[in-house]
Amino acid sequence: SAVISQKPSRDICQRGTSLTIQCQVDSQVTMMFWYRQQPGQSLTLIATANQGSEATYESGFVIDKFPISRPNLTFSTLTVSNMSPEDSSIYLCSVATGAQEAFFGQGTRLTVV
């Protein structure tokens, strides 16, 4: 199993600003993912964070808007850039070793005003 610490747990931000979300795992993991979950909706995969190389983004998500870092096997950040109210959502960090089971942080609840 893996324990994930995600910070901040929530934030209220002004439009046009950026927020960086941190994800720390208690063990080395091969796969790290970032998801967005809008209220009452499912999880949408934003990108796979790759250690030592650029993240792999899903269709509809771009690096300029959601830059991701992954400097090692236990840590990653997601930045939500130039925010607008449409970016208000829950952002979730997830990890997996292989394709067996995904573990999730408690999420970051972002409100953009």
Query: What is the CB neighbour count within 10 angstroms for residue 51?
Result: 16
Q: Distances in Å between the alpha carbon of 91 and those of 13, 52, 98?
A: 14, 22, 22
Interface residue with other proteins, options 11, 22, 73, 102 (CB under 8 A): 102
Stretch that binds other proteins, among 17-25, 63-71, 79-87, 102-110 (CB under 8 A): 102-110
As a whole number of angstroms, the distance between CA 64 and CA 29 comes to 26
Q: Does 38 bind other proteins (CB under 8 A)?
A: no
Which of these segments, 19-27, 37-45, 63-71, 74-82, binds other proteins (CB under 8 A)?
A: 37-45
User: CA quadruple 72, 64, 61, 88: dihedral positive or negative?
Assistant: positive
Contact 90, 105 (CB under 8 A): no
Please tell me whether residue 108 binds other proteins under the rule CB under 8 A.
Answer: no
Under rule CB under 8 A, residue 26 binds other proteins? no
| Contact residues: other proteins, CB under 8 A | 4, 31, 33, 35, 41-45, 48, 59, 92, 94, 96, 98-107, 109
